[in-house]
Amino acid sequence: MLDIDVSVVVPLFNEDESLPELTRWIDKVAKDNNLVYEIILINDGSTDNSWTVIKQLCSENKNIKAVKFRRNHGKAAALQCGFQQAQGKVVITMDADLQDSPDEIPELCKMILEQDWDMISGWKKRRNDPIGKTIPSKVFNGLAKMMTGIELHDFNCGLKAYRKDVVKNIELFGEMHRYIPALAKAAGFPKIGEKVVHHRERKYGKSKYGLGRMKGMLDLITIVFVSKFGRKPMHLFGSLGVFCFLVGFIILTYLTYCKIFMSVYNMTQRPIFFLGIICLLVGTQLFLTGFLAELTTRASSDKKYYNIDETINTN
């Protein structure tokens, strides 16, 4: 069995019109550049004819593999499933709407294999999108760059390339597909580069993303926490809990001293008394939160966040 040079993972939702053209294009680019390849199509609960089209494509090209979800789980779950299936030395992700160009594949592979990058993120420097998408994207990317410390212009670009080890050592859930660079860095893969890629106009259908994508900004807080404390939540909650508890303990010890040795009365009517009580309670709660989070993290490390209905040509 030949070693696979590149795995192209394509998450999709209601893209039956674009799939034949996309797979033919990838096939042509791979053959023109002598790349042994596989295409992994992840049907994320499509309600159109996508799965019928996919089954036909798989019967025509044995390099195409496919997974069908029972319902729509989101892009992060689709990518996670595709990463688990991928066997190529380089794993490339792209959207199914033909706005990402497969012509970028050879150069992306070269940057990973020859220039020793762990990950290359596409940068849609010139976007063929309406202003309602470009302005929120600029705001989002500015915040993501500031909070993660990773110098990328386009975190949300679907066209990315990874060394195989990277995708096998990160876990995606929720809306975390937007923050794969941060997850990769946290997993010990700091060599993250960027490549300007061609962004094409949508040829079929319409965008599946609306204003709801803005909720991804809320995940910035989550990703900062996950990257630093995801596997050790006790380090954060425990430290804060101990600090609050000590502050409360010192306050109440001082008030007790004043009551006993300085004959100061009406201590329980002072605001500082209530501050001390609150600090003790908050400190205890934070410590217990960290303890429970630690137990939960260890218990759920192998949990899957999607349900597979059917597969084609996959192991």
Res 75 pLDDT > 60? yes
Residue with tokens 């990317």: 141
Residue 91 has a pLDDT of 97
Residue 72 has a pLDDT of 92
Residue 230 has a pLDDT of 66
Cβ neighbors of 271 (< 8 A, separation 6 or more) are none
Residue 129 has a pLDDT of 62
Residue 93 has a pLDDT of 97
Residue 303 has a pLDDT of 54
pLDDT tens for each residue of 260-288: 888 777 777 888 989 999 999 999 999 99
Domain ranges of the chain: 6-228, 233-299
Residue 207 has a pLDDT of 62
Res 165 pLDDT > 80? yes
Report yes or no on whether pTM surpasses 0.85. Answer: no
Q: Report whether 189 contacts 166 (CB < 8 A).
A: yes
* In the chain, % of residues over pLDDT 90: 52
d(CA 311, CA 300) in angstroms, rounded, equals 25
Of 96-110, 150-164, 210-224, 230-244, where does mean pLDDT reach its minimum?
A: 210-224
Q: Where are the alpha helices (DSSP H) in 149-270?
A: 164-167, 180-186, 219-229, 233-261
Q: Residue 312 — very low, low, confident or very high, per pLDDT cuts 50/70/90?
A: confident
DSSP 8-state symbol, 43 = E
Res 210 pLDDT > 60? no
Superfamily of domain 6-228: Spore Coat Polysaccharide Biosynthesis Protein SpsA; Chain A (3.90.550.10)
d(CA 213, CA 128) in angstroms, rounded, equals 18
Mean pLDDT over the full length of the chain: 85
Of the two residues 222 and 94, the one the predictor is more confident about is 94
Q: Residue 43 — very low, low, confident or very high, per pLDDT cuts 50/70/90?
A: very high
Res 259 pLDDT > 80? yes
DSSP 156-223: T-S-EEEEHHHHTS----TTGGGGHHHHHHHTT---EEEEE--BPPP-SS--S--GGGGGGGGHHHHH
Mean pLDDT value of segment 209-230: 63
Of 143-147, 156-160, 209-213, where does mean pLDDT reach its minimum?
A: 209-213
Res 131 pLDDT > 80? no
Res 237 pLDDT > 80? yes
Residue 277 has a pLDDT of 93
Res 306 pLDDT > 60? yes
